[in-house]
Amino acid sequence: MARKEIEEEVEEPKKTGKIKTVSDLPGVGDKIAEKLKSAGYIDMMAIAAAAPWELEDNAGLGEGTAAKIIEAARETLDMGFESATKILERRQKIIKITTGSKNLNGLIGGGVETGSTYEFHGGFGSGKSQIAHQLAVNVQLPVEKGGIDGGCLYIDTEGTFRPERILQMAKALGMDTDEAVSKVMSARAYNSDHQCILIEKAAEIIREKNIKLVVVDSVTALFRSDYTGRGELAPRQQRLNRHLHALQRLADVYNVAVFMTNQVMSRPDIMYGDPTAPIGGHVMGHFATVRCYLRKSKGDTRIARMIDSPNLPEGECVFTVTSDGIGDPENKD
């Protein structure tokens, strides 16, 4: 059906009762409700947090229709200002996932918290994917052991996801290894468009599988390979920006933790200090709630440095990557 025809179909609202579901929104018939569900907009908050162009592109709706539906959803949810006291009360209910290292937990404020986005960047062998695998296991732990008793959605863009590693880490924690592997839902993204589609389709899986952690390892690799040269820089950054905001919306709407790894590049213009810089430029730099830089040290030790956080100080810590997973160096004193 053409967009114009869809616009005409919903000009007069059909629903008059109290709005509780997407189907109750004014102007949303069965066909449009199905289009929204197929595009991943399965609850009121997901629609209210969207922009009209997103419903146009993802659900095939006309501009006027999309704007009306979003406005109705926002009015229903009463999305306005609230006191900082209420925000503080809500933040006190946030649950944090342990990284497996007390040192690393201390650096990032107690663990990876729900409703926030984390970006860990570093060179190869710095421990990025190892932390991602460990979090995919730890999120399944009960709250008293540093988990959330939930599942993990793992998007693998570089072919580095290994279920064998999940087994190994779960065994080290005394968990049921078969159950631990089954609670990690993984998808291999083959290009940046595929990666964006996977995130757009994630909402339904998050609700069905009790997902509490979304991992993207790594978030910029495919954008880096699909868009090459200076002439492609602007469209790459625009596309990356949209993708990052889709991830942020998942964190906000479904109260999940989003953990992203990121590649680095070498800057030859840097004469002194560390010449490495994360991929993604300012778009990536301004997005993540917490950013950490990882680098390899001697043996199985790694160093994490806090780059940016809205409420945590800069600092460094040492952690280890062993066959059992992420941990802390042994105290030999």
The CATH number of the domain holding residue 136 is 3.40.50.300
Residue 211 has pLDDT above 90, yes or no: yes
Which CATH number fits the domain that encloses residue 12? 1.10.150.20
On whether residue 132 sits in a domain, the answer given is yes
Query: What pLDDT score does 10 carry?
Result: 42
Q: Which of 22, 54, 77 is the last residue of a domain?
A: 77
More confident residue, 252 or 58: 252
Query: What pLDDT score does 272 carry?
Result: 58
The total of other beta-carbon atoms located within 10 Å of residue 240's CB is 24
Residue 226 has pLDDT above 80, yes or no: yes
Q: Which of 77, 109, 129 is the last residue of a domain?
A: 77
Task: Please tell me whether residues 65 and 95 are part of one structural domain.
Answer: no
Query: What pLDDT score does 44 carry?
Result: 78
Cα separation of 259 and 255, whole Å? 13
- State the chain's maximal CA–CA distance in angstroms: 76
CA 150 from centre of chain: 15
Average pLDDT, the chain: 86
Question: Parallel, antiparallel, or unpaired for β 184-188 and 264-266?
Answer: unpaired
Task: Please tell me whether residues 159 and 29 are part of one structural domain.
Answer: no
Residue 129, domain extent: 90-327
Residue 24 has pLDDT above 80, yes or no: no
On whether residue 333 sits in a domain, the answer given is no
pLDDT bucket at 51, cuts 50 / 70 / 90: confident
Residue 3 has pLDDT above 90, yes or no: no
Is the peptide bond preceding residue 101 cis, with omega within 30 degrees of 0?
Answer: no
Task: Please tell me whether residues 243 and 155 are part of one structural domain.
Answer: yes
Task: Please tell me whether residues 321 and 200 are part of one structural domain.
Answer: yes
Query: What pLDDT score does 185 carry?
Result: 97
Query: What pLDDT score does 274 carry?
Result: 62
Task: Please tell me whether residues 62 and 123 are part of one structural domain.
Answer: no
In the predicted model, what is the mean pLDDT of residues 259-272?
75
Q: Two tokens at 324?
A: 């059992």
Exposed/middle/buried for 70, CB within 10 Å: 0-12, 13-18, 19+?
buried
The total of other beta-carbon atoms located within 10 Å of residue 330's CB is 7
In the predicted model, what is the mean pLDDT of residues 180-200?
95
The pTM is what?
A: 0.79
Task: Please tell me whether residues 112 and 223 are part of one structural domain.
Answer: yes
Cα separation of 279 and 262, whole Å? 7
Residue whose token pair is 């810089």: 277
Query: What pLDDT score does 81 carry?
Result: 79
Query: What pLDDT score does 219 carry?
Result: 94
Into how many domains does the chain fold? 2
